[in-house]
Structure 1
Amino acid sequence: MSDMAALQLLLVISLGSAFCQGFTSVRFNRNLSAAPEPVAERWFLQRLDHFNGADSRVWRQRYFVNDTFMQPGGPVFLMIGGEGEANPAWMKSGTWLTFAEKLGAFCLMLEHRFYGQSRPTPDLKVDSLRFLSSRQALADLAHFQTIVGLDLGLSDRKWLVFGGSYPGSLAAWYRLKYPHLAYAAVASSAPLNAVVNFPEYLEVVQTSLAQNHSACPNTMKVAFDSLVQLLQYKDNFEKITEDFKLCKVLRIKSVMDYSYFLETTTEILVNVVQYNNDNRAFEGVKGGNITIEVMCRIMANESLGSPYDRLVAVVQTILEANDQLCTKAEYTEFVTEMRDNRWGGPASEGGRQWLYQTCTEFGFFQTTDSVSQPFSGFNISYFIQQCRDIFASSFNLSTVANAVQQTDEYYGGLKIQSSRIVFPNGLIDPWHALGINTNLSSDVLAIQMQDAAHCADMYPERPEEPSSLPAARREIFKLLTKWLS
């Protein structure tokens, strides 16, 4: 896991896939062991501002094509990009391509504005980021589908949209807001309910940790309580620096320093839960061998010492699995990197952009403001202060709450009114707490996967995958076949 603070997530959200990141907060989990096989990229001339007819500015948006499975009269599958660079590995493999082969679909993948190589503005200044929103992204999809559909002779086909995590939300919202264009949607692990404070994320982490190891959350809590006690005294900072492999000697000069270190440490652990036993290795992501089972087994091993010692062993094991030599844990360095508004800056891969979206649209802040979870140290004020420190002093709890309320009013939150949408959710995944987990109608349906994590249904099949996935994929395919018939 790259610890450069740049999820919810979810994340929610692992930059190995631009379609299923779900940052736990605003850091990336890039860790690519190998570059994906090259796929020819194409470029589309996109409008900068879809909601101002007097603005004629355009920019080049990247997309990819796979026409291998196309049959006459077959549907068009459109994979929606998210809060990171589009990974061409998804044009080679994945559940959606298995469906495409069976249904004779033409496949397209569109990178999200302001991420990857799709750069609408010369920089990432706040004035530029005002063009970054889910609404603009949906309008990008509509304009892209309209023009490309005409150019490729696909306008009369049925277009089905796919996405996971935030792009899963976009898939559902595209079907909702552009029903004349999107015929159906598969919205995997999609957080539809925007909330400022999301303590339920860590509550689900606790439940998932306890699934096969009932004592694991309590041991984790004891360990974290011990860490908090150590943080009260400067004499312990060198030990903590060594234990947690920090890149610089720990310094705690403010509440934000304190919270940032604890949140950084927590995120190393909860990423394991969010992506437990997944198959991201196909796109080059490292660390998949570290699972809840591995983590809780270490926490239960009394021969390693106290719960704190076991926590240290877990963190070091995860860092080693990710080939990560050290962890950045300085809040001031984080702010400096996130304020850098250049393309090519340390947070330009998506961290600055996604934090902006959380501050202005979604919230999704995974706080410790709940007693039903094992971690501590970062409340809602900590995340709101990030919005202030990085973007503008005008941000406060009220302004963020107003923005989040507008998002839910615009899309409907968990009361989405639409048709032909399926919402697969892994119940180990903390993001399912903000998703659709029960059927809303006869064709707005939820598929729950008891032992699966974030976006697990999207990955290629493998023998050791969770037992609920094959049945979930069969159910999704059955629905698509029914809707296309």
Structure 2
Amino acid sequence: MQALSVLASWFRLKYPHVAIGALASSAPILYFDDITPQDGYYSIVTKDFREASETCYQTIKNSWSIIVEVGSKPGGLSVLSKTFKTCKPLKSVNVLKNYLVLMYSRAAQYNSPPKYPVTIVCGGIDGAPPETDILDKVFAGVVAYTGNRTCYVNAPRNISETTVGWRWQTCTEMVIPIGITNNTMFQPDPFILSSFIEECRSLYGVPSRPHWVTTYYGGHDIKLVLHKFGSNIIFSNGLRDPYSSGGVLVNISESIVAVHTVNGSHCLDILHANQSTDPVWLVRQREVEVKIIKGWITQYYFDLLAFSQ
């Protein structure tokens, strides 16, 4: 959904005669080139888990070396397959590691009320009996997050057109340099542009354009640039959303404003409202955004009348 929010802000900038304004929810418009540190995303994932539970954070952080150690031994992949009840025998520890990284990331990105997935994962990990080893604790977190299933990790799945399209988009035009450094609960996996370009070329046979976004839409010196020619954009963010690391978090002008909540998650403000479970801070965030948008519309019709006379 972040692609649509990014496009909303860009659409307003490029076509102000068509769009009166834009609500860019969880739009990481600064996660291009070298504007945002590449580990911004996973640093917030780590922060979310650590704030939820220090012991959960430590368990996850310590689990990677154990997964690699077990998997490197003779018969180790079979042990991991059994421990995590995989749907197919593991052929590489990377399959398991990638699954867990994605699970933790999704839990943090969509850590929304009333369920709060990060709390659910950590509840499974911390709720395991004291004598449970680290890998069994991690698996308990997997079960807590996904529910009871016959198997996990590498289940058959249908890849949606959205997933395929997003992969193409990020390979060609929207190159988001997300990497993992030593400052997170994950094993380091830095973003290396040359490797990324080669991988995309092998997948689609086309070159990546890592600087296209900032050339076409801007991004560097965003405050100075948008203050001079932009207007009527709300950049809304939940600070628990890892993509908020590449978002606009301060007001740029009177009409380009940042609205954020400390406990919000990805695009939470534009998801379907639930009067019985939405916290007060989320309701107020939406009210602020609606008030701003109403002001845009009122001003538009006022100007329309004034200039038609």
Q: TM-score, normalised by structure 2?
A: 0.82
Give the whole-Å Cα distance in 2 for the aligned partners of 1:464 and 1:404. Answer: 41
- Matched position secondary structure for 2:129: helix
- 5 Å-filtered alignment, 1:318-357, equals 318-320=145-147, 325-328=151-154, 347=159, 349-357=161-169
Superposed CA deviations along residues 150-197 of structure 1, whole A, max 9, x for unmatched, are xxxxxxxxxxxxxxx210111111100000100111110111124368
User: What is the aligned counterpart of 2:133 among 306, 309, 318?
Assistant: 306
- 5 Å-filtered alignment, 1:4-403, equals 20=1, 165-195=2-32, 198-252=38-92, 258-278=93-113, 289=115, 291-301=117-127, 303=129, 305-320=132-147, 325-328=151-154, 347=159, 349-368=161-180, 370-376=181-187, 378-381=189-192, 383-384=196-197, 386-392=199-205, 395=207, 400=208, 403=209
Give the whole-Å Cα distance in 2 for the aligned partners of 1:364 and 1:228. Answer: 28
Structure 2: gaps (5+ residues): 299-309
Per the alignment, residue 428 of structure 1 pairs with: 240
Q: Structure 1 residues 405, 449: closer, same or farther in 2, change over 3 A?
A: same
Instruction: Kindly indicate whether structure 1 or structure 2 has the higher relative contact order, using CA contacts under 8 Å at least 6 residues apart.
Output: 2
Q: State yes or no: 1:438 paired with 2:250.
A: yes
Q: State yes or no: 1:461 paired with 2:274.
A: yes
- Matched position secondary structure for 1:182: coil
The one-letter code sitting in structure 1 at the alignment partner of 2:12 is: R
- Matched position secondary structure for 1:183: coil
| CA apart distance, 1:439 | 0.7
Give the whole-Å Cα distance in 2 for the aligned partners of 1:467 and 1:297. Answer: 25
Aligned length: 285
Is the contact made by 2:56 and 2:125 (CA closer than 8 Å) also made in structure 1? yes
Q: Structure 1 residues 206, 251: closer, same or farther in 2, change over 3 A?
A: same
Superposed CA deviations along residues 453-482 of structure 1, whole A, max 9, x for unmatched, are 101111213333344211101110110121
Is the contact made by 2:182 and 2:188 (CA closer than 8 Å) also made in structure 1? no
Is the contact made by 1:427 and 1:450 (CA closer than 8 Å) also made in structure 2? yes
Is the contact made by 1:438 and 1:446 (CA closer than 8 Å) also made in structure 2? yes
Q: TM-score, normalised by structure 1?
A: 0.54
Q: Structure 1 residues 241, 473: closer, same or farther in 2, change over 3 A?
A: same
The one-letter code sitting in structure 2 at the alignment partner of 1:171 is: A
Q: What do you get for the CA RMSD once the two structures are aligned?
A: 2.6
Q: Structure 1 residues 328, 433: closer, same or farther in 2, change over 3 A?
A: same
Q: Structure 1 residues 221, 262: closer, same or farther in 2, change over 3 A?
A: same
Higher helix share: 2
Is the contact made by 1:194 and 1:362 (CA closer than 8 Å) also made in structure 2? no
Q: Which runs of 4+ in 1 moved over 3 A?
A: 258-261, 323-326, 381-386
Superposed CA deviations along residues 26-84 of structure 1, whole A, max 9, x for unmatched, are xxxxxxxxxxxxxxxxxxxxxxxxxxxxxxxxxxxxxxxxxxxxxxxxxxxxxxxxxxx
Give the whole-Å Cα distance in 2 for the aligned partners of 1:181 and 1:420. Answer: 13
Superposed CA deviations along residues 353-393 of structure 1, whole A, max 9, x for unmatched, are 2111111122225432x11111126443575554243223x
- Matched position secondary structure for 2:176: strand
